[in-house]
Structure 1
Amino acid sequence: MNMRPEESQQTYLRLLQKRLDVQAVLMLPESPFKEGAYYLIVAKLPEAEGTIRRILFQDQLIMEQWISIWQLEKGTVYGLEEKLAHMLACAEILIDHDGYMKQMKQKLFRLSDSLQKKLICREYSHLVLFFHQAKEWLQQGLALDAYHAFVQALHAWARLIVYEMGEHPQAALWAQVKQLDSSVYKLYEELSMNAETLEKRIELLVLAIEFAVTSRMKESVRFLIELMEAKAGPWRLQELMNHPAVQEADIQIPALIDKMVQRSFIQEVVCPDDENREQETCFILLS
């Protein structure tokens, strides 16, 4: 005799409740299938992270996605991947040993000052990088490549705005940005839907993004400035790029360094390399 979906799901959850490797279980409001349920399972061991299973349990379709406690703890320091953040925001907690997940959701969705600075710096560096690429391809007459880079630049700008407001980007990013900064939303709308030629639509963006890059720089690179202040003396480019906080946050250091030199936030100096008898360009902060 087939069990009703509700009974099957309760049996499934009771089995998860007893497992020693399961810390919490959440249910997503929507499943990618017409029938069945979608569960997000928080594991105590990192080995389970990334496991995705589509199973039949007592004739009922179930989707499992496993994440780890380590992945969530890391997210409180470096930020969560946007898709996972959206899933956690929407999910209902069904099993929560020791109240762990309730506390973790509060931590994950409260941006600390240090994490906010880091995420803003990351998105700003991506904005600068993609904008530079877009201008280069535009000058070479590669309109489609320039268009793609401008779309990426606008997405970085959109996420930057969201983080500036102390929020996390949602899956429907542009619906979110429309409420926070309608002018940037309109730029994206113009690029995507304007009846003008592709080249004309792209050209209209250049001045707007150039102004954003210039006007936002001081606040957007504060994380990098504070990192450089922690050390007396010059920084080598590779030293900055290899810094654990920079690597974890995916900050595009070369793109930022060029702009910061142009705006006199930092200065290029020569660092002698006695071992190789070479001279390397290094960078120091200007007060």
Structure 2
Amino acid sequence: MEHILRPIYQERASQSNTLGVLLIEKREKASTITDTFDAVLLIILKEAESPLHVKHYSYEDKKASLNLVSEDQLNEWLLMGTNRKILDWIFSGKILFDRNDYLHNLKLELREFPFYGRKIKMGIEYSKLIRRYLDGKTFFENKHYMDAYNHIVHSLHHLARLSVIENGFHPDITVWNQVKQIEPEIYKLYEELISSEESIEKRLELLFLAGEFLVHSRTEIGSKHLIEILQGKEVWSFDEMINHPDLSLYSVDLSVMLEYLIEKNYIKVVKRETKGQGILHRYYSVSNKN
């Protein structure tokens, strides 16, 4: 297959902007890793006009996908976990071209999974977990059980991913297989939610009883990255937070996570006067418990 696809990637490999080329072949009949394609070519570029450019090809009775991705986009996927297949592509792909050992070093770094990178990923997953869990709880209290169920399933996925990262592994597509080995308690909670013959109301009620502890017990590890950044200054406005390069990664989930940490006494509110009578500025500071 490689020799058939060589004309597609060879020209790109000769360009100084190209960092590496990977070939990912379909491993099973129903493999989802390659999005139903027989082969995927992943070409990583130092810089690109658009973060992702995709072309599809046919050859013989097969089909292939060419993915040109910028280094910045690749790093965002790896950090945010928004492209679940990318880790599999990097680890299982055959290296066809590797400028200055870029792909070799990337694989090494991903296997070692340095703790700083883990802290950021855990913070992002925890913020998503809090958002989904609290939204699900609100829907449940208002008797919107199907909406509550949807949010809680998502929150358990984030809890599962957080657990995998906490244990030093990258979450992959089969994250529940990982969690079953790493933390069976979370797996059992998920299994009972989706498989129980109880009514959906009862299932959710039982999950909130058991899940509250699992969510709360992750607060320290899940907020570690955020707290460490906030400790760099005595007082922060929310605008300063969302414009901080690392905290901006939390996106729309930051405000919900912040309020949760205030409720749990990890962060305190600092009020300051404004020109308007009775209106106070609201700032944030790490509480003394940290």
How does the TM-score come out when normalised to structure 2?
0.86
- Residue pair 2:124, 2:249 contacting (<8 A) in 1 also: no
Does 2:58 align with 1:64? no
In the TM superposition, what is the alpha-carbon distance from 1:147 to its structure 2 partner?
0.3
Q: Output the CA distance in 2 between the equivalents of 1:33 and 1:269.
A: 54
1:193-230, CA deviations, whole angstroms, 9 ceiling, x for partnerless residues? 11111111111110222112222212221111111110
Relative to structure 2, which stretch is displaced further, 240-249 or 175-184?
A: 240-249
Does 2:198 align with 1:202? no
Q: Which residue type is aligned with residue 207 of structure 1?
A: L
Q: From the superposition, tell whether residues 204 and 15 of structure 1 become closer, same or farther in structure 2 (CA, over 3 Å).
A: same
- Choose 1 or 2 for highest CA Rg: 1
- Residue pair 1:28, 1:87 contacting (<8 A) in 2 also: yes
1:55-93, CA deviations, whole angstroms, 9 ceiling, x for partnerless residues? 2468863311111233345567x4553332232222121
Aligned residues between the structures: 280
What 5-or-longer segments of structure 1 have no aligned partner? none
Q: From the superposition, tell whether residues 7 and 144 of structure 1 become closer, same or farther in structure 2 (CA, over 3 Å).
A: same
Match among 134, 137, 144 for residue 135 of structure 1 = 137
- Residue pair 1:236, 1:281 contacting (<8 A) in 2 also: yes
Relative to structure 2, which stretch is displaced further, 132-141 or 111-120?
A: 111-120
Counterpart in 2 of 1:269? 270
Q: From the superposition, tell whether residues 142 and 80 of structure 1 become closer, same or farther in structure 2 (CA, over 3 Å).
A: closer
Does 2:13 align with 1:17? yes
- Residue pair 1:131, 1:209 contacting (<8 A) in 2 also: no
1:130-171, CA deviations, whole angstroms, 9 ceiling, x for partnerless residues? 111111111111010000010111011011101101111101
Does 2:243 align with 1:247? no
- Residue pair 1:48, 1:66 contacting (<8 A) in 2 also: no
Match among 56, 64, 85 for residue 83 of structure 1 = 85
In the TM superposition, what is the alpha-carbon distance from 1:267 to its structure 2 partner?
2.0
Relative to structure 2, which stretch is displaced further, 39-48 or 248-257?
A: 248-257
- Residue pair 1:79, 1:115 contacting (<8 A) in 2 also: no
Does 2:280 align with 1:279? yes
- Residue pair 2:77, 2:86 contacting (<8 A) in 1 also: no
Q: Which residue type is aligned with residue 248 of structure 1?
A: L
Q: Which residue type is aligned with residue 90 of structure 1?
A: S
Q: Output the CA distance in 2 between the equivalents of 1:226 and 1:65.
A: 37
In the TM superposition, what is the alpha-carbon distance from 1:275 to its structure 2 partner?
8.3
Match among 99, 105, 112 for residue 97 of structure 1 = 99
Match among 117, 121, 124 for residue 122 of structure 1 = 124
Counterpart in 1 of 2:22? 26
Q: Percent identity?
A: 27
In the TM superposition, what is the alpha-carbon distance from 1:12 to its structure 2 partner?
4.3
Q: Which residue type is aligned with residue 20 of structure 2?
A: A
Q: From the superposition, tell whether residues 7 and 230 of structure 1 become closer, same or farther in structure 2 (CA, over 3 Å).
A: closer
1:17-73, CA deviations, whole angstroms, 9 ceiling, x for partnerless residues? 334443311011314447x42211112322253111112468863311111233345
How does the TM-score come out when normalised to structure 1?
0.86
2:198 match: secondary structure: coil
Q: Which residue type is aligned with residue 151 of structure 1?
A: V
Relative to structure 2, which stretch is displaced further, 82-91 or 187-196?
A: 82-91
Does 2:51 align with 1:55? no
Counterpart in 2 of 1:146? 148
In the TM superposition, what is the alpha-carbon distance from 1:13 to its structure 2 partner?
4.8
Q: Which residue type is aligned with residue 84 of structure 1?
A: I
2:49 match: secondary structure: helix
Q: From the superposition, tell whether residues 21 and 197 of structure 1 become closer, same or farther in structure 2 (CA, over 3 Å).
A: same
Counterpart in 2 of 1:164? 166
- Residue pair 1:117, 1:222 contacting (<8 A) in 2 also: yes
Relative to structure 2, which stretch is displaced further, 272-281 or 102-111?
A: 272-281
- Residue pair 2:22, 2:96 contacting (<8 A) in 1 also: yes
Q: Output the CA distance in 2 between the equivalents of 1:275 and 1:20.
A: 58
2:246 match: secondary structure: helix
1:269 match: secondary structure: strand
Counterpart in 2 of 1:237? 238
**RMSD between aligned residues:** 2.6
What 5-or-longer segments of structure 2 have no aligned partner? 27-33
